[in-house]
Amino acid sequence: MTVELATQQNTMTAEEFWTLASKDEFRGELVHGKVVEMVPPCVEHGVIAGNLIEALGGFVKARQLGKVMAEVGFILSRDPDSVRAPDVSFIRAERLVVTKRFSEVPPDLAVEIISPSDTYSGVLEKARMYLNAGVQEVWIIDPDAKSIEVRRTLHEAKVYQREETVETPLLPGLSLPVASLFE
C-alpha cells in the first residue's frame, strides 16, 4: 500500500527527494513531484527478486553486458520530477553511469514484482512511466499466477507462464525458465 506524503500544492524535486530518501528507514518513490511511501517487500518478493538477480546477474557478468541492480532510483521525468525504483533493473555496459545519487539514465530493463500491497493498475502505471522514459522492456512478475508479463510497449504484452522460458533481445542467448524464479 502506498501513502501520499506531499500535499497537492507542494511538489518536490529529485534533489530534494534525495535528501528525504537518504534518511534511515525511509522507503518510497517520487511520482510527479509527490512523495509516495512504500511498504517494505515480503519474503516471497525478496526470494523472487534474489532468484532473478542471481540468474540475470550471472548471465550479464559472464558476458560483460552491463549491470543488474536491485531497487536503484531512476529519474524518469523532470518538472514535475519522478524517481522510481524497479525491483530489478539492467543497464547495458555502454549506457552505464555509476553515480552516488539517482540515475539520470533509465535502465534498459525494469522489473516489477507484484507485492500483496500492489494493485495491477498501479504496477501498470509504473510500466507506463518506465516505457515513456525510454526503458526498452518492462517485466511484471506475478507471484500468484507464477508468470512474467513482458512489455515493450504499453499496448502489447506477452505473458510467459510457469512452464515457459523467457528470452529477450536485450540479452541475446538468455533462456530463463519462469519456474526458476519461484523456487
Q: Alpha-carbon torsion 160, 162, 165, 171, what sign? A: positive
CA distance 81 to 84: 10
64 phi-psi bin (left φ>0, alpha ψ -120 to 50, beta other)? left
- Residue 165 belongs to a domain with what CATH number? 3.90.1570.10
Number of domain units in the chain = 1
What backbone torsions phi and psi does residue 132 show, to the nearest 5 degrees? -65, -25
pLDDT tens digits, one per residue of 111-166: 999 998 899 999 999 999 999 999 999 999 999 999 999 999 999 999 999 999 99
Give domain status of residue 4, yes or no.
no
pTM of the model: 0.90
> Which cell numbers in the block locate residue 65?
553486458
Which domain covers residue 110, as residue numbers?
41-182
Euclidean distance between CA atoms 60 and 68, whole angstroms: 7
At residue 24, the pLDDT reads: 63
* Residue 127 cell numbers, joined: 510500466
Contacts of 166 (CB under 8 A, 6+ apart): 139, 148, 150, 160, 174, 175, 176, 178
> pLDDT-derived band of residue 10, with 50, 70 and 90 as boundaries?
confident
